[in-house]
């Protein structure tokens, strides 16, 4: 994973969340499945704001998927995790970021 300067508290909390996901999956299984959803850049602004102030092509180009995420993208992952199709999935992290965390980013 990547970090920015002065984000130690955020990074530590993220690591704690993933460790808790793993530990709870072991402690609570098989009755309860525990997974973590880690969203990336999600444009959760009000639709009227998104129309008035759309993201730029540069914003979208940062994502290998070609766009920033939507609330619906995250909701779809959660819905799948709650479905019977994910009945054998526990203790995992699901990154919903359009591939952004896999892309090399260089400052200008």
Whole-number Å distance between alpha carbons of 11 and 58: 26
Q: 37-48: per-residue pLDDT in tens?
A: 999 999 999 999
Over residues 68-84, the mean pLDDT reads 98
* Domains of the chain and CATH, by start: 8-98 (3.40.50.720)
Confidence of residue 103 (pLDDT cuts 50, 70, 90): confident
Confidence of residue 107 (pLDDT cuts 50, 70, 90): low
* Residue 94 CA neighbour count, 13 Å, CB half: 18
The question of whether 10 is a catalytic residue gets the answer yes
> Considering the entire predicted model, what is its pTM?
0.88
From the list 2, 10, 64, 72, the catalytic residue is: 10
Of residues 60, 63, 48, the one with CA closest to residue 97: 63
């Amino acid at each position: 994973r990547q970090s920015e300067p002065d984000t130690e508290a955020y990074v530590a909390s993220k690591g704690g969340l993933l460790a808790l996901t793993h530990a709870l999956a072991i402690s609570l299984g098989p009755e309860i499945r525990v997974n973590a959803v880690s969203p990336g850049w999600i444009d959760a602004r009000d639709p009227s704001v998104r129309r008035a102030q759309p993201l730029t092509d540069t914003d979208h180009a940062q994502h290998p998927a070609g766009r920033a995420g939507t609330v619906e993208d995250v909701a779809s992952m959660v819905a799948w995790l709650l479905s019977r199709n994910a009945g054998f999935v526990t203790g995992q992290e699901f990154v919903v970021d359009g591939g952004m965390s896999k892309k090399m980013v260089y400052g200008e």
